[in-house]
Amino acid sequence: MHECELCQHAGNGGDDVIYSNAAWRVVLADDAGFPGFCRVIWQSHVQEMTDLTAGQRQILMDVVWIVEQSIRDVMQPDKINLASLGNMVPHVHWHLIPRYRDDSHFPNPIWGQAQRTGDSAILMQRRALLPALRVAITARLASCLPDSTPDEAV
């Protein structure tokens, strides 16, 4: 297998690792147009959800739900998009994307055709919420998954 981007770059380039343990990690994506965009990434090379054991799937989805609720509470989006794509990396991972009626692509997916230019003042206000989002995700993961000891909780 050729080099794995998600193994080489724990935060996937400019992404910010919020919480990480031996099984999974949560990163805040470096996406200026979609503040609050997070990924939940299974650490080992597992391509499909059905490659995980039932217990592993449950843990992974519990993390997804916790991150989603944190995004909803802090970012107050109109909608959350959940996506599991990953055609280029051998890691099961979920994208959690806060969506707003005024974002550049709404109602299209963020990977689709832009509908308008994003308002820089609104984006700056949303980016200002990112420290609170980081705290909310870390606190919820620590309290909701007590058996999940982080290797890195920043």
57 exposure class (CB count in 10 Å sphere: 0-12, 13-18, 19+):
middle
Whether 104 is in a domain gets the answer no
Query: In this predicted model, what pLDDT tens digit does every residue of 5-58 receive, in sequence order?
Result: 777 665 556 789 999 999 999 999 989 999 999 999 999 999 999 999 999 999
Residue among 56, 63, 54 nearest 20 (CA) = 63
Q: Is the pTM of this model over 0.85?
A: yes
Residue 49 lies in a domain: yes
What is the structure's pLDDT at 1?
46
Q: Specify the higher pLDDT residue, 154 or 95.
A: 95
Confidence of residue 153 (pLDDT cuts 50, 70, 90): very low
Would 111 be classed as within a structural domain? no
pLDDT of residue 97: 98
107 within a domain of the structure (yes/no): no
| Model pLDDT for residues 54-85, shown as the tens digit of each residue | 999 999 999 999 999 999 999 999 999 999 98
Q: What pLDDT score was predicted for residue 154?
A: 39
The structure tokens 């989603």 sit at 68
The total domain count for the chain is 1
* CA distance linking residue 35 with residue 99, whole number of Å: 9
Place of tokens 């005024």: 102
CATH number of the domain at 135, please: 3.30.428.10
Give a yes or no: residue 14 inside a domain. yes
Question: What range defines the domain where residue 38 resides?
Answer: 5-99+117-144
Whether residue 47 lies inside any domain: the answer is yes
Q: Is residue 151 part of a domain?
A: no
* 86-132 pLDDT, tens digit each: 777 888 999 999 999 999 999 999 999 999 999 999 999 999 999 99
